[in-house]
Amino acid sequence: MKQFALLLSLTLLCFSSTISAQNHTDVEQHKDYQAVHTAVLDYVEGLYLADSTRIMQSVHPELRKRGYWFHPRENGFRDNLDMTYQQLVDLSKTWNSKGDKVTKDSPKLIEIYDINSKTASAKLTAEWGIDYFHLAKLDEKWYIMNVLWQSITD
């Protein structure tokens, strides 16, 4: 019985790995892959380049954004930091306006996990940390609807 359970576990592990690999390939082949990628890229470059127009074209006005910022002096997180669409637009105008927050080596790694006909999910690794996105396709355009983020602690 133990051998059967082990064999079943190994079979399921191999099967789930195959599905995962297929899904990632499928996402990159999706007809909306570039549009979803562009929405996330506009978000990060809107902040990196202090260009609020990039935020306005990629983020929906009904944005829900919540984050967890690590405060080094307190050696702990400040939790549930909410941000509205307007606060994000305003932040994008000032966050890197002096060019001192990012460098040419600052990360902007975009990983798209899933794309459906109306919804998508993605992850961004940026200078400030990790952002997880829910996007929606409205009137044939992709918008970021939800962001959950955390600053990097390492």
DSSP state string for the chain: -HHHHHHHHHHHHHHHHHHHHHHHHHHHHSTTHHHHHHHHHHHHHHHHTT-HHHHHHHEEEEEEEEEEEEETTTTEEEEEEEE-HHHHHHHHHHTTTTS-S--TT--EEEEEEEE-SSEEEEEEEETTEEEEEEEEEETTEEEEEEEEEEE---
pLDDT over 70 at 96, yes or no: yes
> 101 lies in which domain range?
33-151
Query: In which band, very low, low, confident or very high, does the pLDDT at 153 lie, cut at 50, 70 and 90?
Result: confident
Q: Which residue has the higher pLDDT, 36 or 79?
A: 36
At residue 25, the pLDDT reads 61
Q: Which residue has the higher pLDDT, 119 or 70?
A: 119
Count of domains forming the chain: 2
pLDDT over 80 at 135, yes or no: yes
The Cα-based distances of 83 to 72, 90, 139 in angstroms read: 21, 11, 25
105 and 131 assigned to the same domain: yes
58 and 15 assigned to the same domain: no
pLDDT over 60 at 121, yes or no: yes
140 C-beta neighbours (distance < 10 Å), count: 7
Predicted structure pTM score: 0.81
At residue 8, the pLDDT reads 43
40 and 95 assigned to the same domain: yes
43 and 116 assigned to the same domain: yes
26 and 37 assigned to the same domain: no
17 and 43 assigned to the same domain: no
pLDDT over 50 at 19, yes or no: no
24 and 87 assigned to the same domain: no
Query: In which band, very low, low, confident or very high, does the pLDDT at 20 lie, cut at 50, 70 and 90?
Result: very low
pLDDT over 60 at 148, yes or no: yes
Q: Kindly tell me the burial class for residue 31, based on how many C-beta atoms sit within 10 Å of its own C-beta (0-12, 13-18, 19 or more).
A: exposed
89 and 24 assigned to the same domain: no
At residue 22, the pLDDT reads 40
Query: In which band, very low, low, confident or very high, does the pLDDT at 17 lie, cut at 50, 70 and 90?
Result: very low
What CATH number did the domain enclosing 42 receive? 3.10.450.50
Question: Which of 1-10, 19-28, 62-71 is the least confident region?
Answer: 1-10
